Each structure stands twice: as C-alpha cells, then as structure tokens.
Amino acid sequence: MHETAHARVPEQKRKVLRHSVRGQILDALRAALVDGELVPGEIYSGPALGERFGVSATPVREAMQQLAAEGAVECLPNRGFRVLSRTPRELAELAEVRALLEVPVMLRLARTVPEASWQALRPAAAATAEAAAAGDLPGYAEADRAFHRAVLRLAGNDQLVQVAEELHRRAQWPLPGAARVRRADLVADAAEHSALLEALIARDLPVVEALVREHFAGS
C-alpha cells in the first residue's frame, strides 16, 4: 500500500505548516478589518473567505476564532462570523485604559532611558510617517503598534507589552468607515511619534504626558 503525500509529511511539520497558514490568514483578515474590506455588521462564512484567500475553511475559522477572542468579530453558529464595530464610548474607554497604563510608564522611561535609546527608535517613527504618507491604513496600523511596542519594551516588562499591544489592536479596528480615513489624519497621527521622541529625549515630562494622552484620544 502506498502512503499518501499527507501521510509522508511528519506530524510536527504538518502542524508548523498549518500554523503558518493560519498566521498568514490572520494577518490578511486583520488588514482587511483595518482597511474596511470586512464591513462592520456584515456576516462572513469560513468557506467563502477561504475561497477568497485560496485556502480551506479550516485556517479561516481558526483565525476568526482568534479575532473573536480579540473582540473584532462574533461567532454565529452555522452562519459564520459577524464583524463588530467600536462605539464612540468603547473607543473613549480604550483610550482611557491605554492612558492609565502607558502614561506612567512613559514618564518613568523619560526620566531613566538614555538619549541613544530614543534615537534608535527614529526608524520606527519614520516607518509610521511613510505608511501615513502612502495612505496605507493597514501598514500604518502595524507600524503604529510596532513603534509603541518598541517604546514599551524599554520598560523591560513583557506582560506590559503584551497587554498594551492587545489594547492597541482593539482600538484600531474595526472602525465604521475605516476605508475613508483621511491621509491627512494619518500624517498628523504619525507626526506625533516624532514629537514624542523629541519630548522623551528632552525629558520634558508635561509634553510627554500631553502627547501620549492626545495620541490615544485620536487613535
């Protein structure tokens, strides 16, 4: 009896390949949410999305389960997944929680981190400006998270970085009319990263606090 191609692939390798596909689909779905391709209120089925991305429904369902855990979609038995949207109140609450978490950390870092460490973050700030100038909303969302992640890593607290990343992602999508976000708004938001670095280098604590709170409120 001849072995099938599937059977000849070691179990561990099959798991890695499956995880890789799921990760790619998860990234693609997140980008579609940010860009407004997946519309809040609409219901999407696993098989239909699988056909769209050229994969089976299984990795799509697994990715959607992750998005459900992150609060982006809700599971509808035998129907698929409905994309949720943030209300203005939810966005304000997320901004408040992010400020409560990150402002004290930023102020502590402003007092203790040497200038060279802040200078090293200029490429991350520049990446947000480039994505904003191109009007690349998914690219900007990723670059924005990467910048904040790099700043918070200077605190040396992995749990802080993880929690802040989840809150940040929740604040980014899905948003009503996401595809209509103005490029000028992205450019202005990106400029705040460079301004924040300058304030951190100068150890200007009042400006650091004001910039972080304003940045969250506008995210």
Assign domain 88-218 to a CATH class: mainly alpha
- Kind of pairing, strands 73-76 and 80-83? antiparallel
Does an H or E element contain 26, and which?
helix 11-35
Asked if residues 80 and 43 have their Cβ atoms less than 8 Å apart, the reply is: yes
| pLDDT, tens digit, 9 for 90 and up, residues 9-63 | 444 444 434 568 888 999 999 888 888 888 889 999 999 999 998 999 999 999 9
Can you list the alpha helix ranges (DSSP code H) found in 78-157? 88-112, 115-119, 122-133, 137-153
Residue 68 CB contacts under 8 Å (≥ 6 apart), including other chains: 74, 75, 81
Q: What fold characterizes domain 5-83?
A: Arc Repressor Mutant, subunit A (1.10.10)
**Does the structure show a pLDDT above 60 at 98?**
yes
* Residue 35 contacts residue 179 (beta carbons within 8 Å): yes
The yes-or-no verdict on residue 175 having pLDDT over 90 is no
DSSP output for 62-100: HHHHHHHHTTSEEEETTTEEEEP---HHHHHHHHHHHHH
**Domain boundaries of the chain, sorted by first residue:** 5-83, 88-218
